[in-house]
Structure 1
Amino acid sequence: MNFKHKFLSISLFTGLGLMAGCSDFGDMNVNPNAATTPVTSALLTAAMTGIPPTTPTGALLEGIAGRLTALAVEPRLFVQYWSESQYPENSQYATTFADWNRYYAVTLQDLQTIIDYNTNADTKTYVAQFGSNNNQLAVARILKAYLFSVVTDRWGDVPYVNALKQTTAVPYDPQQAIYADLFKELREASAQFDNGRAFQGDILFNGNQARWKKFANSLRMILAMRLTKVDPATARTEFLAAYNDAAGYISTNADNATIQFTDVNQFRNPDNALFDGRSDYGVSDVLVNKLKALSDPRLPAYAAPTDNGDYLGLPYGLTRELLIAYTNDNEFSLPSAKVLAKTQPGYIITAAQMLLAKAEAAARGWISADARTAYNDAIRASWEQWGVFDATKYAAYIASPAVLPTTGDILAKIGDQRWLALYPNGQEAWSEWRRTGFPDLKPTPYAVNESKQIPRRYAYPNSEPTLNAAAYTEAVGRLQNGDKTNARVWWDKP
C-alpha cells in the first residue's frame, strides 16, 4: 500500500467536500476530471492508520492502533505499565474529562462513509471497483464495532445509533444497548463476506476473509467477557457463540491482529514519536518488580537496561518534587528499544490474549477445555510473540509457585498474566483491570482527584453540556456518581 498516494487521495476528498459547500459559484471552479465519490480503499487505510502528522515529531493519533486506541498513553499510566518522569499529573489522576471528537469525526466517520457509499444505490456500483460491496461493508462494520467498543469502554453511555449523522444534538445510548448491537454487528458482518473482490487498502489482513472472521469472533469473545459481573448469562452465551463458530478465533501468533508501522516518520510506531527527543515516561517499578519477581524473560523485551545494565522501574505516581529528587539521584529504565522501534507493530488482539480468555472461560465452567493448559499456552504465545521463548526457562516458569495456578487463585493468576501479556496495550489492560480487579493495583498515595482512586472512566467532553445539553444531562443522570472519573460504566461492577 502506498501511504503517500492514499493520503493524497484523502486530501483531495476533503477539498471536494469544501467545494461542494461553495454552491454559489456554480461550475466555475469545478474540475470536470475530478472524482466526486470517495476512494473507499483510501478511507479504509486511513481508518486503520490514522491521519499522518504534519510535524517531524508528530504521531499517528487515530486508527485502530494509534495513540487514541491500542497505544493510548494515559491508560498505561492507570494500569501502571509506565510512570511519568517529569510531569506526573496524569499519574496522579488529574484528568477530569476527555474529548472524543477525533474518534467520531475521523476514524468512525471514515468507516461510516464506506458503509454509506456501499449501501447507496447511486454510488455502490462505482465504489465496487475497490472491492465487492459486501466485503467492504463487512470490514467497515467490524472495524466500526471495534472503535465503538473502545469509545463506550472509555466513557460508558455514548452517542451510537444516531451518531455520525452530521448533527451535534445526539442522544446517548445506554452501554447495555450498545453492547447488544455490537454483538449483532459482529455476527452479521462476519456472515456478510462474499466471494467477490477483496477490499483494497486492507493493511490489517490484506483481504484475508478467514482472518477477518477470526478477528470478529475474538472481539465478540473479549466483549462477552466484559459482562461477567453485570450479565453473566449473556456473557456465557455470546462467548460460546463466538468460541464455537466454525471460523475460529485468534489462537496463534500467525493470526495476531497488528498494524505494521514503517520506518517513515509519518507512518512510524506512535511510541517512537513519543520518545523522539524526549523521555517523559519510564517503565513503572510496579511492572519491573513483577517481572523480576517472576524471573520473567519478557523484562528485557519490555524495558531497557540502565547504563549499569540493570532494570530499574521508575516509582509510580510521585509528585513533581519527589520525581525531581528521585531522577536527580537515580537511573530508571525506559521502554525497550523493541517497544520504541519505528517499525514495531501495534498489537490490537493477540493469541496470548485470546488463550487467556479461553483459560478464564474454562475456569468458569463455560467450556470443557483445561484451564491450566490454555493458561500455559497463553504464556508461551506471549513469550514467542516477544521473541523470548526458551523451553527450559518456560518449563521452570510455569511450574513456579508464583505462576502455577490453583483452584482457589486461577482467576487471579489469569488476570496477572493477562496484564503482563497485554503490554503495551494500556486501553485493553485498563478495561480488564476494571472488570476483574487483577492485578491488585494500588492508587498512588499522591492522587489529586476527588476519589483518590484509579479512574474508572473518562468524564464526557466539556463541550457536551453546551452543544448537546439535553442528551448529556440524561446520560449523566444514569451515572451513580455523576459525570466523574470514579463513576463506573455499565459492565464495571464492584
Structure 2
Amino acid sequence: MLKKLTYITLFALTMTSCSDTLDEINKNPNATETPLAPYLLTGSLKQGADLYWGSDNNFNSSLLFVQHWAKIQYTEPDRYDVSNTSFTSLWNTGYATLITDLNTIINFPADQANTNYKGIALTLRSWTFLLLTDAYGSIPYKEAGQKVTPAYNTQKEVYTGLLEDLKQAQSLLGTTNGSVTGDLVYKGDITKWKKLVNSLRLRIALRISDKEPALAKQAAIDATSDAAGVLSSNNDTFKFTYTSSPQQNPASAWFETRDDFRISKTLVDKLTDLADPRLPIYAQLPSDATVGKYVGGANGLSNSDANSQGFAKTSKPGTYFLTSSSPAVIASYSETLFNLAEAVARGYISGNAEQLYNDAITASFNQFGITNAATISTYLNQASVKYDASNYAKSIGTQKWIAFYGQGLDAFTEWRRLDYPVLTAGPATVLDGQIPSRFFYPGTEQSLNGVSYKAAIAAQGKDLLTTKLWFDAK
C-alpha cells in the first residue's frame, strides 16, 4: 500500500512539473503581454495608409468612379459590375484593426499612454470613421467595438459625433503633455497634429454644409479660430511615406506584377485642355514612342474594347505614384486651402475666396514639385481656371478633383458633394448611365448583424450603389 501511494505521489508531482514546464514552453519570450502605445500607433498609421491607397478602396474602385484611372483589362470594376464582397476591406480593416487598436490606446491607463497618444488615437479613429461613413453612409459608430451586433448611426449622427470627438482630441493634445514615439508621419510634432485636427473639423463642416448650414458654419468658425490653426504649408501635409519592398507603396507593388490600369482619358483630356503642368507627373507617355503624347484610357468599356485601345499606346499613371517610396497623402495643405476658400464663399468665415482658391492650386503644384512662378501665373490666369464667384462649386470642385489625383476615397466624396466636374458613365457600365454614389455594405453584415443592417437600410435606402447618402441628397 505504501509503495502504491508513493507511485501516486510521484505521478502527481510529475504532472504538476509537466504542467509548469508546458506553461513556460508556450510563452513567446519575444512577445509582450501588454500592447504598447508606440507599436499600436505605428501599425495604425501604416495600415491606415495601406487601406486608403490600396487596391480595394482606391485604384480598383473610387479612382475609377471619379475617372482618375481606368481599366484596360479586367474591366468589371470600371463597369460597376461588382458585388457586396467588393468593398469589404474598408469595413473589416477599419473596424477590426484600426478602430480596435486605436480604442486600445484611448483606453490605456495614464502610465501606458499619455494624453498625446490618446489625442492622436482619437484623431485617427475619427478619420477612420469619416472614411467609413463617406463610403457607406449609416455605420456602427457609438456602439462600435462595444457590442457584437452594434446598432448603426445615421450619417448625420456620425458627422456631428466626429466634430465632438475631434474637439476632445484637440483638448488632449498639448506640447507639454509628454513625448510620442512610433509616429511615422509627424515624428511626434504635436503642433502638426493639432493643425490636422482642425483641418479635419473643417473638412467635416463642409460635408454637412448642404444639410446643416448653421452647424456647418459654427464648426468652420471653431476650426479656423482655434489657436492651433489649420495645415499651413506643404510641410504640414498628413502623409505616410513608404520605403522599399515589402514596406512599399501599394500601387508600386501592384504594378510590379500587373498591368491593368491606365490614367483616365477624362483626366488626360482635362489636363491637356488646361495645359496643366501636372500632366507629366500624373501620367507616363505611352511605351510606343511613335504615339508621342499622353493618351488616357476610356472608362467603362467592355474588356475587348478596353484591350483594343492598345497597352503600348495608352498612358500608365505617372512614375511619381508608382515608385516604392511614393507617399500616401491623406490630408494635404492644398485641400485645406480649397476648404477655406469654400467656407469663405459660403459666408461661414471671412477671407478672400479667390485668393485662397489660387493658393490652393499653387500648393498642389508645389506638392508635385512645380514651383516656377511664371508657369503657375500663366495657369491661374486662364479664363477656364479663373475663380468664378457665381459658381464656386464648379471652380473649386473641378480644381479639387485634379488636386486629389490618387486620393480616390476623398475625391469620390468631394465629387458627390460638389457635383463637379460633370462626369459621364462609360458605354458598357451596368447602372443605367449612373455612376456609383456609395459602396455596398459587406455581405457579412446581413448574416452577422442582420437586425441592425435592416434597420439601417430601412432608414437610409436600399443597399445599392446608386442610393444617395445623406450629405449628397440634394
TM superposition score normalised by structure 2: 0.90
Partner amino acid for 2:45?
Answer: M
Cα offset, 1:31, TM superposition: 5.6
Closer, same or farther in 2 for the Cα pair 1:176/1:114, shift >3 Å?
A: same
**In 2, distance between residues paired with 1:407 and 1:32?**
65
Partner amino acid for 1:406?
Answer: D
Aligned 8 A contact 2:140 2:151 in 1: yes
User: Residue 233 of structure 2: which of 242, 252, 259 is its match?
Assistant: 252
User: Residue 474 of structure 1: which of 437, 455, 473 is its match?
Assistant: 455
Instruction: Please name the residue that 2:254 is paired with.
Output: 274
Cα deviations across residues 434-462 of structure 1 (Å, max 9, x unaligned)?
1110111111222113x531111112111
Q: Secondary structure at the match of 1:463?
A: helix
Cα offset, 1:28, TM superposition: 6.5
Closer, same or farther in 2 for the Cα pair 1:386/1:31, shift >3 Å?
A: closer
Q: Secondary structure at the match of 2:153?
A: coil
**In 2, distance between residues paired with 1:326 and 1:382?**
31
Partner amino acid for 1:201?
Answer: G
Cα deviations across residues 213-260 of structure 1 (Å, max 9, x unaligned)?
100100111111011211111111111110111111013111111101
Q: Secondary structure at the match of 1:267?
A: coil
Pairwise mapping of residues 222-371 of structure 1 onto structure 2 (< 5 A)?
222-262=203-243, 264-306=244-286, 307-308=288-289, 309-327=292-310, 331-371=313-353
Aligned 8 A contact 1:61 1:68 in 2: no
Instruction: Please name the residue that 1:46 is paired with.
Output: 43
User: Residue 152 of structure 2: which of 156, 172, 178 is its match?
Assistant: 172
Range moving further from structure 2, 30-39 or 235-244? 30-39
Pairwise mapping of residues 361-440 of structure 1 onto structure 2 (< 5 A)?
361-440=343-422
Cα deviations across residues 10-56 of structure 1 (Å, max 9, x unaligned)?
xxxxxxxxxxxxxxx867734688532112211110000029xxxxx
Cα offset, 1:113, TM superposition: 1.5
Aligned 8 A contact 1:211 1:255 in 2: yes
Cα offset, 1:114, TM superposition: 1.3
**In 2, distance between residues paired with 1:192 and 1:230?**
30
Range moving further from structure 2, 409-418 or 216-225? 409-418
Closer, same or farther in 2 for the Cα pair 1:65/1:312, shift >3 Å?
A: closer
Partner amino acid for 1:324?
Answer: N
**In 1, distance between residues paired with 2:38 and 2:456?**
36
**In 1, distance between residues paired with 2:354 and 2:393?**
11
Per residue, is there more helix in 1 or in 2? 2
**In 1, distance between residues paired with 2:255 and 2:399?**
27
Partner amino acid for 1:240?
Answer: I
**In 2, distance between residues paired with 1:46 and 1:66?**
16
Cα deviations across residues 459-480 of structure 1 (Å, max 9, x unaligned)?
2111112111111110010123
Aligned 8 A contact 1:86 1:320 in 2: yes
**In 1, distance between residues paired with 2:254 and 2:459?**
37
Cα offset, 1:367, TM superposition: 2.1
**In 2, distance between residues paired with 1:294 and 1:257?**
28
Pairwise mapping of residues 35-184 of structure 1 onto structure 2 (< 5 A)?
35-50=32-47, 61-62=50-51, 66-67=54-55, 71=58, 73-97=60-84, 98-99=87-88, 100-116=91-107, 118-119=108-109, 124-125=110-111, 127-128=112-113, 133-165=114-146, 167-184=147-164
Which structure has the greater CA radius of gyration? 2
Q: Which runs of 5+ in 1 are unaligned?
A: 1-24, 52-59
Partner amino acid for 1:234?
Answer: L
**In 2, distance between residues paired with 1:34 and 1:274?**
32
Cα offset, 1:368, TM superposition: 2.1
Cα deviations across residues 255-299 of structure 1 (Å, max 9, x unaligned)?
11110110x212111110121122110001000000000000000
**In 2, distance between residues paired with 1:30 and 1:209?**
37
Range moving further from structure 2, 463-472 or 27-36? 27-36
Aligned 8 A contact 2:198 2:229 in 1: yes
Instruction: Please name the residue that 1:7 is paired with.
Output: none
**In 2, distance between residues paired with 1:375 and 1:433?**
17
Cα offset, 1:103, TM superposition: 1.5
Instruction: Please name the residue that 1:13 is paired with.
Output: none
Cα offset, 1:178, TM superposition: 1.1
TM superposition score normalised by structure 1: 0.86
Cα offset, 1:406, TM superposition: 2.7
**In 2, distance between residues paired with 1:419 and 1:33?**
47
Instruction: Please name the residue that 1:488 is paired with.
Output: 468
Aligned 8 A contact 2:115 2:178 in 1: no
Aligned 8 A contact 2:41 2:121 in 1: yes
Range moving further from structure 2, 429-438 or 106-115? 106-115
Q: Which runs of 5+ in 2 are unaligned?
A: 1-21
Identity of aligned residues (%): 34
Cα deviations across residues 49-89 of structure 1 (Å, max 9, x unaligned)?
029xxxxxxxx743x655566x5541000000000010111
Give the aligned CA root-mean-square deviation in angstroms. Answer: 2.1
Partner amino acid for 2:69?
Answer: W
